[in-house]
Amino acid sequence: MRGKIIEVILDIKNDFISGEELSKGLGISRTAICKYMKTLKEEGYNIEYVNRKGYRLIEDPKDLLTYQNISHKLNTKIIGNNIIHFETIDSTNNYAKKVALQKPEGTVIISEEQTKGKGRVGRQWHSKSKDGIWMSIILKPDMIPQKATFITSIAGASIAKALNDLGVKTTIKWPNDIIINNKKVAGILTELSAEIEKINYIVLGIGINVKTMEFSQEISEIATSLYKEGHKISRVDVIRKILKEFEILYLQYINKDSKGETLDICRQYSAIIEKDVYLIKGEEKELVRCLDINQEGNLIVRTKNNIKREIISGEVSIRGIKGYV
């Protein structure tokens, strides 16, 4: 019932609706309506009541990452049809892996805070309360495990396109970092459970720094946020846009084995194609020229000996000559 009330006031935003109309439309008492409105105010919804006019939503509570806010006008087929929201959790990826077999494909796990957020290679992802977007998507594609690596490319393309469409100029540092002004604003962590020829589930973790203005000394030179770069966009708008873009590219891939649009976006927004970068593996560092991203989503580089090589995601880390990119 709470969800239905939220949908009604979101649809008539800035207009009044009387308690009597709500009561008749939803089939509950006006006393119950009053109690629900009080609860919503306590949760952060800016709801005004005027005698003989009723209730209205003064300001869209865009920063509340509830199912009702995100699903409102989302209009996706599977991605985001089920959203589980936490105030705090150790890791959305950890939780997603625990429930993946029981939850439907497209389930999104979102938390306001992560106490043990994860990045690639076991690194910690700093995830302060309400500072960013910390979410995981449960996927169950009917394909062989070897094809799962392309999901990271789909995620990167989705985030880059979504943010650029929202007016944020971002690029992709292959394979899984989203960049603004040569600093990392978002990251992707893809985890897989599979048998020899069958995927049980994929958990796609996405972390985006939104409101963070100060970073720890160890990452201050390479990390940034949307707010720090001057883009005060609501988290709900960003999430909705990413989920929509992701579903388009994901369904193209799993239903038609189509990679073209994803690869076009990855190339268009690449931060490293036609640039010299270092490939880092352990203590070894090699200077190469990035040439292209191939049909498998792997990086094609040219070594100083003029030899072309294909780099598979996860083999190496990439750093720019003068900085992160």
Annotated binding site for biotin, which residues? 91-93, 114, 184
R_g over Cα of the chain: 22
The tokens describing 196, both together, are: 């020899």
H or E stretch at 95: helix 92-99
Q: Are 130 and 44 in contact (CB under 8 A)?
A: no
The rounded distance, in Å, linking the Cα atoms of 61 and 58 is 9
DSSP assignments along 126-195, one per residue: ---TTTEEEEEEEE--SS-GGGGGHHHHHHHHHHHHHHHHTT---EEETTTEEEETTEEEEEEEEEEEE-
**Looking at this protein, which amino acid is placed at residue 204?**
L
**Looking at this protein, which amino acid is placed at residue 182?**
N
Q: Which residues contact 35 (CB under 8 A, 6 or more apart)?
A: none
Distances (CA, A) of 138 to 80, 267, 319: 10, 26, 30
The rounded distance, in Å, linking the Cα atoms of 292 and 206 is 24
Give the residue numbers of the binding site: 91-93, 114, 184
| Strand 199-209 with 276-281, pairing | unpaired
Q: Are 234 and 136 in contact (CB under 8 A)?
A: no
